[in-house]
Structures are given as structure tokens and as C-alpha cells.
């Protein structure tokens, strides 16, 4: 009864359905063209923000970059409004992850108009910096992002145990190095020695602190070997879950217009998350 009730919806205008297919479905020629155009707009807008942070470029092309920013803001604003118009449940889309990302892609530019006065230029620059997060809009085009997120959630407990073990290990190693070297070699405290253990185990090796005694150097060698040995552990955990998720959840761009869940199978008739009926983009 609940599933049948969910499938009953108010008739919508044909143009809204056509617009929905273009915007939310990438398995059609029009949808693919829309996604490609949007992808270029996102990439160019992020590039414009990056170039604006370069003093020499901003000095010569500042006005052009600001004009380009307003053009991109207008395009993304139209896209956001179009998504609200064609979505059967605009409020659900607005509260979804992608809806919030789309909104945050346009808000900073408009907010910069509400910050008057030259003394607030730093605030305006901060708001402009937020525009770089438009890169998250690229998640619309990464079909595998759902498989990756599912794999990370599935391996969360194992990763927590792994990270906890590493924290215990670097605490023991750092404390041991503090006892072996002492303040004369730069290991002035246990926290600083733990910092050295973390840097060494992750194979970063800044070199700002180095052991001077033979025993300390032997311990450092052991820490380096341990670092190489444990690199593969989290990779293996997540990779195994990714393979399992990819087998269990075939990936497409089909979107449930009830809960905005993506990645349903090509032959699926109902949403795996909320049970609502899925619409055929080719109909």
C-alpha cells in the first residue's frame, strides 16, 4: 500500500519531465551534453578563482576575471533554479547533499555584494575563496562516488581499529625515542617525539629532528620499515570493500526523484533506498 501510494503523483507538465531527464539523467544524449557543458563550466569557474588569487594575473585581468565570475554565477544560478523547478520534490532536492553543494556554489558571489566598505576586503576575499568548493559539483559526474562512499562506510570499523593501533604504536615509539635521545638531540618532550614518530612512519621525513645515537638510529630504521609495511593495510581494506560494493551495486546515473538517491541498476523498477517507483528516462 505504501509503495503504491508513493507511485501516485500529481501530473506534471511535459516540459518539466523533459527538463528533468536532461538535468538529472546522464544516460540520454541531451543529458550527456548538459553534463559535459556543466563540467566545463565548473572547471573554468574554479580555474578563474585560482587565477584571481595570483597577484600579477589579478592586476592585469582582474576585471575580466570578475566578469567571468558573474557569468558563471548566473549560469549556476539558472541551473539551480531549473533543478528546483523540474524536481518532483524541490524541498527534498534543496536539502540533499548535491542541492546544498549547488546552492553553496552561487551564494558566496552574492554575499560579497552585501559586505560594503574597503575595510571588509579581507571578508570579501574569504567569501570568494569559498567558491573553490564548486569543485564538489564534480560529484554529479562521478558515478563511482557512491560505490566509494559505501565502501568507506562498510570499512569504517576496520579503519577505526587500524588508526587506533597506529596511535598506540607511535605513542610507544615516540616515548621510547624520547628516552633514547633526550633534549640534546631535539627530542625535548614526548609529544615532540611522537610527532617525529608520525613523520617518520608516514615516510614524510622532514628532517627537522634526527636521532644522534646508534640506538636511536636503529629505532628510526625500525619505524621506517614499519611505515612501509603498514601503508598497504588501509588500502587493502578499502579496496576489498570497493570490489564488494561494485559487485553488489551496479552503477548507473538513474536518480530516484523521491529521495534523490543515485546509482540504480539499469533494469531497476523501484528505488533501493525508499521503495518509490523509478521513472524510465527513455519514456
SS3 assignment for 185-222: HCCCCHHHHHHHHHHHHCCCCCCCCCCCCHHHHHHHHH
pLDDT in tens, 197-253: 999 998 888 888 899 999 999 999 999 999 988 887 888 887 887 777 666 655 555
Confidence of residue 148 (pLDDT cuts 50, 70, 90): confident
Residue 268's region, left for phi above 0, alpha for psi from -120 to 50, else beta, is beta
pLDDT for 151: 79
- Residue pair 108/130 in contact (Cβ under 8 Å)? The answer is yes
Question: Is a pLDDT exceeding 60 seen at residue 277?
Answer: yes
Confidence of residue 74 (pLDDT cuts 50, 70, 90): very high
Pairwise pLDDT comparison (189 vs 120), residue with the higher score? 189
| 276 alpha carbon, distance to own chain's centre | 27
Confidence of residue 177 (pLDDT cuts 50, 70, 90): very high
Confidence of residue 34 (pLDDT cuts 50, 70, 90): confident
- What integer is the mean pLDDT of 188-193? 92
Indicate the range of 11-20, 62-71, 124-133, 170-179 predicted with least confidence.
124-133
pLDDT in tens, 41-72: 888 888 888 888 888 998 999 899 889 989 99
- What integer is the mean pLDDT of 109-126? 61
Question: Is a pLDDT exceeding 70 seen at residue 114?
Answer: yes
Tell if the pTM clears 0.85, that is, is over it.
no
- Measured CA to CA, the distance from residue 200 to residue 203 in angstroms comes to 5
Buried b (16+ CB within 10 A) or exposed e, 246-270: eeeeebbbbbbbbbbbbbbeeeeee
Helix ranges restricted to H, the chain: 2-7, 14-24, 29-52, 55-86, 90-95, 97-104, 107-111, 121-130, 145-154, 156-181, 190-201, 214-230, 232-248
- What integer is the mean pLDDT of 111-132? 59
Q: Which residue has the cell 563540467?
A: 39
pLDDT for 124: 53
- Measured CA to CA, the distance from residue 137 to residue 279 in angstroms comes to 24
Amino acid at each position: 500500500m505504501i509503495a503504491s501510494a508513493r507511485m501516485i503523483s500529481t501530473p506534471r507538465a511535459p516540459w518539466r519531465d523533459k527538463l528533468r531527464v536532461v538535468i538529472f539523467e546522464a544516460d540520454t544524449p541531451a543529458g550527456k551534453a548538459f553534463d559535459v557543458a556543466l563540467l566545463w563550466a565548473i572547471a573554468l569557474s574554479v580555474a578563474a578563482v585560482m587565477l584571481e588569487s595570483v597577484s600579477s594575473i589579478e592586476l592585469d585581468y582582474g576585471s575580466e576575471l570578475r566578469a567571468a565570475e558573474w557569468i558563471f554565477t548566473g549560469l549556476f544560478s539558472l541551473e539551480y533554479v531549473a533543478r528546483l523547478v523540474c524536481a518532483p520534490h524541490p524541498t527534498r532536492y534543496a536539502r540533499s547533499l548535491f542541492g546544498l553543494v549547488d546552492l553553496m556554489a552561487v551564494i558566496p558571489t552574492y554575499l560579497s555584494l552585501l559586505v560594503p566598505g574597503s575595510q571588509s576586503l579581507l571578508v570579501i576575499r574569504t567569501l570568494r575563496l569559498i567558491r573553490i568548493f564548486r569543485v564538489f559539483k564534480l560529484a554529479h559526474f562521478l558515478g563511482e562516488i557512491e560505490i566509494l562512499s559505501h565502501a568507506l562506510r562498510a570499512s569504517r570499523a576496520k579503519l577505526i581499529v587500524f588508526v587506533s593501533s597506529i596511535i598506540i604504536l607511535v605513542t610507544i615509539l615516540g616515548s621510547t625515542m624520547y628516552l633514547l635521545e633526550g633534549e640534546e638531540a631535539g627530542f625535548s618532550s614526548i609529544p615532540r617525539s611522537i610527532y617525529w614518530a608520525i613523520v617518520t612512519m608516514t615516510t614524510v621525513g622532514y628532517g627537522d629532528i634526527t636521532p644522534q645515537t646508534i640506538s636511536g638510529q636503529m629505532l628510526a630504521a625500525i619505524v621506517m620499515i614499519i611505515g612501509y609495511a603498514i601503508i598497504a593495510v588501509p588500502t587493502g581494506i578499502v579496496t576489498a570493500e570497493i570490489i564488494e560494493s561494485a559487485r553488489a551495486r551496479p552503477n548507473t546515473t538513474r536518480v530516484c526523484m523521491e529521495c534523490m538517491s543515485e546509482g540504480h541498476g539499469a533494469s531497476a523498477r523501484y528505488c533501493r533506498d525508499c521503495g518509490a517507483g523509478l521513472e524510465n528516462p527513455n519514456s
